[in-house]
């Protein structure tokens, strides 16, 4: 029996590997020898147990840290030299930069990086210049570059990050969605009944409660809506992170004190919360390709999203949701009011939502596109 070719999949932090590669590594391991590489953490151990693949722990810093980055690079070079992989496939910025440099120095035949989101488009000054330079270096070391969606692809082209081909796989999203999991099963519906409020239109946001997710605009728009229609409710599902992109103190106070806003923190299973809501709202300033918008659609929710990368590829205006400008509380209010007032439109968007997700982002379609790419390499 011929020896399996080795593929290394790498991310900066193990949570990314846990999320992006769920069930994928297990399938790949039937044909390839898979090694998952990331910083130490319980999520990496979970990946090993769930996927049945080997892991290697290499500490990597998400922020700019030259000394730590150099140490991480040396460890990756040593690892790649020992393992002699056929493919190194990285995701997330720091793992991408370090893994692509190390893989090129170790003469790995196929060096693949997936851009799941770009930081520099919203950065400025010296930080922006550094981030663009590191992405150019990353691309110079890679043999295949995969942007997550056409929005990310266009940003890379506009900034002239690379002259190499940019290959969007499937319809852009790198993970896809398990439609059997994200559905309104009897169990989910029963749990949702406990969370619902009768005779109330519930709007839901899922994600980090930080400024660059548009939480300030969302809270302001909802307060205005609730003053007109007090049978409305806003659910905020996700952790508060005041260290990065903190919310203004008056917005935090409104979240804590408003009678119709419920911040329920991080939830292990978001399906009952989605099933308990009427409209999904995601007013983020920037994304790569937000999985939560796909998940909301799979749960048959109409969405209001900002006109940003990823979101504007998932949502089709007037078919499964509404698209508004970012940083625009008034436009957000008007769209929330529109879906409150027009039950027929809300129901029409809801009916279309799941099918439009299934046709384009089923995880089996996404995985097949990746497997076909690996199989095409010599």
Is 179's pLDDT higher than 80? yes
Is 196's pLDDT higher than 90? yes
What is the pLDDT at residue 208? 93
pLDDT in tens, 198-243: 999 999 999 999 999 999 999 999 999 999 999 999 999 999 887 7
Domains and CATH numbers, the chain: 6-176+363-376 (3.40.50.2000), 186-361 (3.40.50.2000)
What is the pLDDT at residue 3? 86
What is the pLDDT at residue 122? 76
Q: What's the whole-model pTM score?
A: 0.88
What is the pLDDT at residue 1? 60
Average pLDDT over residues 247-259: 96
User: Could you tell me which of 105, 113, 169 has the C-alpha nearest to residue 138?
Assistant: 113
Distance CA 99, CA 370 (A): 19
Average pLDDT over residues 290-298: 97
Distance CA 354, CA 96 (A): 33
**Sorting pLDDT into bands at 50, 70 and 90, what band is 118?**
confident
What is the pLDDT at residue 216? 97
Instruction: Judge whether 350 and 301 are in contact, CB under 8 Å.
Output: yes
Average pLDDT over residues 16-22: 91
- Report the share of the chain in percent with pLDDT over 70: 100
Positive or negative torsion for Cα 74, 79, 82, 87: negative
């Amino acid at each position: 029996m011929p020896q399996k070719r080795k593929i290394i999949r790498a991310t900066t932090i193990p949570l990314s590997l846990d999320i992006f590669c769920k069930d994928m590594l297990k399938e790949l391991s039937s044909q390839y020898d898979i090694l998952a590489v990331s910083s130490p953490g319980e999520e990496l151990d979970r990946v090993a147990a769930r996927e049945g693949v080997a892991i290697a722990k290499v500490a990597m810093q998400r922020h700019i840290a030259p000394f730590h980055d150099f140490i991480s690079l040396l460890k990756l070079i040593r690892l790649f030299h020992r393992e002699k992989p056929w493919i190194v496939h990285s995701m997330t910025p720091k793992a991408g930069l370090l893994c692509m440099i190390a893989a090129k120095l170790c003469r790995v035949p196929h060096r693949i990086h997936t851009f799941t989101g770009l930081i520099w488009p919203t950065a400025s000054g010296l930080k922006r210049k550094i981030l663009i330079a590191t992405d150019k270096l990353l691309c110079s070391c890679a043999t295949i570059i995969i942007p997550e969606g056409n929005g990310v692809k266009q940003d890379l082209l506009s900034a002239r990050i690379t002259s190499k081909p940019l290959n969007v796989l499937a319809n852009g999203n790198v993970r896809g969605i398990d439609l059997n999991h994200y559905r309104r099963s009897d169990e989910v519906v029963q749990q949702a009944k406990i969370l619902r409020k009768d005779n109330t239109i519930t709007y839901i946001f899922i994600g980090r409660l930080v400024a660059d997710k548009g939480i300030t605009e969302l809270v302001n728009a909802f307060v205005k809506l609730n003053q007109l229609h007090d049978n409305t409710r806003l659910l905020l599902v996700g952790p508060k992170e005041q260290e990065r992109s903190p919310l203004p103190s008056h917005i935090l106070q409104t979240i804590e004190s408003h009678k119709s806003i419920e911040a329920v923190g991080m939830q292990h299973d978001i399906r009952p919360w989605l099933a308990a809501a009427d409209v999904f709202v995601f007013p983020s300033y920037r994304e790569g390709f937000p999985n939560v918008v796909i998940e909301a659609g799979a749960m048959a929710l109409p969405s209001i999203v900002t006109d940003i990368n990823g979101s504007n590829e998932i949502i089709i205006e007037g078919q499964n949701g509404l698209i508004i400008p970012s940083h625009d509380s008034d436009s957000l209010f008007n769209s929330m009011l529109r879906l409150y007032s027009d039950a027929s439109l809300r129901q029409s968007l809801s009916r279309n939502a799941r099918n439009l997700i299934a046709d384009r982002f089923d995880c089996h379609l996404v995985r097949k596109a990746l497997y076909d790419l690996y199989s095409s390499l010599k």
